[in-house]
Amino acid sequence: MDTAYASACNCFNPRLKQILGGLPEEYQCLVQEIRLKKAAPLVLVTASHVLYPNLYGQPTLPDRGVTVFSEEIDEMFHFLCSGAVYSHSEEIRKGFVTAKGGHRVGIVGKAITEKGQIVSVTQVDTLSLRVCRDVPGCGAAIVSYLYDGRRLNSILLASPPAGGKTTLLRDLARTLAKDGIRVCVIDEREEIFPAESGFDSGVLCDVLRSFPKAEGIRRAIRTLSPRVIFCDEIGDESEAAAVMEGFHSGVRFVLSVHAAQKEDLFLRPCLRRLFSDGEMDFAVLLKDRHTPGQIRQVISGKELRNAVFGTDSPAGCLYGGRPAQSL
C-alpha cells in the first residue's frame, strides 16, 4: 500500500478505512484528495480522474458509490481534532485541520461570525483531505536556479492549487539544509514538515510550526540567523512586508503563491511589491494539478520587474523600495 495513502486512511473510521484500503494499488499512489460530504458518495480525486469507490474499494459509477453518513463526518472531525475541538480553534477558524502525517483537511460548514470576523466553523458537512506526499529529489530541476554553489537566489514558486508547491518547498529546504546552508521553514499550517510525519528536514533546517508567516519570518531573522527562509502561500501585505524586511536583512527567500499564469503574478499587490525591489531572482511557474511539480516556465527577476514597471524601469521606483541610484 502507498505509504502516504495508508497514513491518510488512518484518519478515517474503520468502515471507510476498509473501503479506502480496498482501492487498487495502481490508483492509491495517484490519489490527491479524499472528499467526504454528508449523505453523498465518498470521492477520491486524482490528477486526471474522480473516483467513486464501492463497498469493496473498487471504482464504480457515482450512484453506486459508498454513501458517507452524517455521523461519520462528525466523528472524523472530532478525531482529527484529537477529541479537542478547542485546541484547533485557530486552524478551524481558517478552515482547515492538519491531520497526523501532515494531511491538510479542509472544513466546510457554517461559519460563526463576531463583528464580521469568522470565529469558528460548526455544522461541518464536508471534509476534504489532501494527501501529503514526500517526494525526495522532486526539486532537483529547481535547485540550479536556487543555488549554484556560490550564490543563493530568491525564488517564487507559482502554480494553481494542488500543483505541487508544498512538496517542492519541502524538498528544496531539505536539499539546502543537507548542503550545509542554514534554512528556516515558516510552516504556518504544519504542511511542509508536519510534526510526527517522520519527514526528514535535515539538521540545519529549523521549522517554525504554526507561526503566522509574518511573525515567523521576523522571529527567524532575529533569532535563528538563516540564510534562506521558506514560506508557503504568501498572500497578504503584512507577509510581503515581512519578506521585504528579510530581503533588506540579507536573507534569501523561497516562497510559493497561487497563480495559474504569468499575468496573475502581476495582478496581486503584495507580489508586485516583492518584485519592485528586484530582490526576487526567479519566478518558477509550475504546470497544473495534472502534472504536479513540473516546471512550465522560469521568469527572471529582471523580467518580473519589467513586467510590473515597464521595460528597464529602475528597481524600487514604486512602493518605497531602494532608490535607483543606490543600486
Q: Identify whether the C-beta of residue 76 lies closer than 8 Å to the C-beta of residue 11.
A: yes
State which of residues 70, 87, 123, 225 lies at the interface with another protein (CB under 8 A): 87
State which of residues 50, 55, 56, 75 lies at the interface with another protein (CB under 8 A): 75
Residue position matching grid coordinates 495559474 = 260
d(CA 71, CA 88): 20
Give 273's Cβ-side CA count (13 Å radius).
18
The answer to whether residue 238 forms part of the interface with another protein (CB under 8 A) is no
Residue position matching grid coordinates 524600487 = 316
The answer to whether residue 113 forms part of the interface with another protein (CB under 8 A) is no
State which of residues 46, 120, 126, 291 lies at the interface with another protein (CB under 8 A): 120
CA distances (Å), origin 7, targets 42, 198, 199, 221: 18, 11, 13, 34
Which of 69, 59, 64 shows the shortest CA–CA distance to 15?
Answer: 69
85 vs 135, beta carbon nearer another protein: 85
CB of 78 to another protein, least distance (A): 6
Eight-class DSSP state of 307: H
Q: Write the CB contacts of 302 (distance below 8 Å, at least 6 apart in sequence).
A: 278
Span 4-63, contacts to another protein by CB under 8 A: 13
Q: What SS3 class is residue 253?
A: strand
State which of residues 29, 85, 135, 162 lies at the interface with another protein (CB under 8 A): 85
Q: Residue 51, exposed/middle/buried by CB under 10 A (0-12, 13-18, 19+)?
A: buried
CB of 80 to another protein, least distance (A): 10
75 vs 179, beta carbon nearer another protein: 75
**By rule CB under 8 A, what count of residues binds another protein?**
15
Part in contact with another protein (CB under 8 A); list of ranges 30-38, 80-88, 174-182, 279-287: 80-88
CB of 299 to another protein, least distance (A): 42
The answer to whether residue 123 forms part of the interface with another protein (CB under 8 A) is no
Which of 187, 146, 171, 152 shows the shortest CA–CA distance to 292?
Answer: 171
CB of 70 to another protein, least distance (A): 15
Contacting positions for another protein (CB under 8 A) = 13, 75, 78-79, 81-87, 89, 92, 119-120
